[in-house]
Amino acid sequence: MNVVVAGEALVDLILRPDGSIAAIPGGGPFNAARTLARLGIGTVFLGGISADRFGQQLRSRLEDDGVHLGMPEPSALPTTLALAELDAGGAASYRFYFEGTAAPEVSPADAHAAATADMQILHVGTLGLVFEPMATTMEGLVADLGDAVLLFVDPNCRPLTIRDRDAYIARLHRVLRRADVVKVSGDDLDYLSPGSDRLAAARALLELGPSVVLFTDGAEAVHVLTAAGEESVPVPSVDVVDTVGAGDSFGGGFLATWVDAGRGRADLHDLAALRAAAERAVVVAGITCTRAGAEPPTLAELP
């Protein structure tokens, strides 16, 4: 089974409270792809990667983890950068530098070449639904999906990169009409439905099309929401180093568990199976939080 993860690969410049800076390969889809591959799942990453030194590091991380490159030719454009400023609790806030960089340059031809016949799951989100021309390409790829392909959407909203909120939300809603599983955080819901109760806003997403909504809220319980019922999955406390990549590794852990169990789009009615996948995803995300930067666990590191 093949999972295609589409979106951005970039370098996070991590600014720590003591003023030190570290350059860490990242990007939500990049982190999710590495999580899936580290957990033993055949994974393709669809995104532009530069030929510069940062790009070489991004490419090496993906290849070392066993991720296949959907766009094997390096881009002549520089690597996209994100400044991630950590607070005293390890939580990150981001600013992005993306004009004229490699990550957004994904064409329809690139997308359809990477979306091979054995693609069973497509994972889209984060800046893949914001940066152009990648965002238009991703929407077109979603519109052309076959009925057997499970679509997983992680909006992972980055307000500082969104210049036209109404246009962004309209595109997201169009994508969600085809989505099967959508993962949203509390921050996502605050942006998408400002002033609303978070859990109510998460439930309302089901009306847009998805069969399943996974609502994560930091250290609070994960809510698995479907039209037929709901489950609440506790999040055990861990010694947090930082939360960079936690949500991405949760999504990757959920899909890896789903694939491991031999499940697909037709099985999303099984609330017990959804809960089991969410429980394992919580473990994957928890381990990621105990490490600096986005370093998801391997299959051998899971209990």
Hey, which bits of the chain come out as E strands? 2-6, 10-15, 21-26, 43-46, 68-69, 81-86, 92-97, 119-125, 150-154, 181-185, 212-217, 220-226, 230-233
CB 301 within 8 A of CB 273: no
Average pLDDT over residues 109-137: 93
Residue 229 or 218, more confident: 229
Tokens 């970039």 -> residue: 10
**Structural domain contains residue 77:** no
Enter the tokens of residue 4.
């295609």
Tokens 């299959």 -> residue: 299
**Structural domain contains residue 110:** yes
- Which residues does residue 210 pair with via DSSP β-bridges, in sequence order? none
Tokens 């370098």 -> residue: 11
pLDDT tens-digit series, residues 154-187: 999 999 899 999 999 999 999 999 999 999 999 9
Distances in whole angstroms, Cα of residue 51 to Cα of each of 76, 81, 267: 6, 14, 41
pLDDT tens-digit series, residues 243-281: 788 999 999 999 999 999 999 999 999 999 999 999 999
Integer Cα distance of 119 and 8 in angstroms: 19
Is the pLDDT confidence value at 1 over 60?
no
Q: What is the band of 293 on the pLDDT scale with cuts at 50, 70, 90?
A: confident
Enter the tokens of residue 250.
């949760």
Is the pLDDT confidence value at 93 over 80?
no
Residue 198 or 22, more confident: 198
Is the pLDDT confidence value at 84 over 80?
no
Q: Whole-number mean pLDDT of the chain?
A: 94
Tally of domains within the chain: 1
**Structural domain contains residue 120:** yes
CB 175 within 8 A of CB 146: no
- Which residues does residue 26 pair with via DSSP β-bridges, in sequence order? 10
pLDDT tens-digit series, residues 130-157: 999 999 999 999 999 999 999 999 999 9
Residue type, 8: E
Average pLDDT over residues 212-224: 95
**Structural domain contains residue 208:** yes
**Structural domain contains residue 238:** yes
Q: What is the band of 219 on the pLDDT scale with cuts at 50, 70, 90?
A: confident
Q: What is the band of 49 on the pLDDT scale with cuts at 50, 70, 90?
A: very high
Is the pLDDT confidence value at 91 over 90?
no
Q: What is the DSSP letter of 266?
A: G
Instruction: List the CATH number of the domain containing 267.
Output: 3.40.1190.20
Q: How many CA atoms lie within 13 A of 213 on its CB side?
A: 30
Average pLDDT over residues 206-211: 97
Percentages helix, strand, coil for the chain (3-state, rounded to 5) are 40, 25, 40
Domain that holds residue 171: 2-8+27-47+106-295
Q: What is the band of 242 on the pLDDT scale with cuts at 50, 70, 90?
A: confident
**Structural domain contains residue 301:** no
Cα of 109 vs its chain's centroid, Å: 22
Residue type, 179: A
**Structural domain contains residue 204:** yes
**Structural domain contains residue 241:** yes
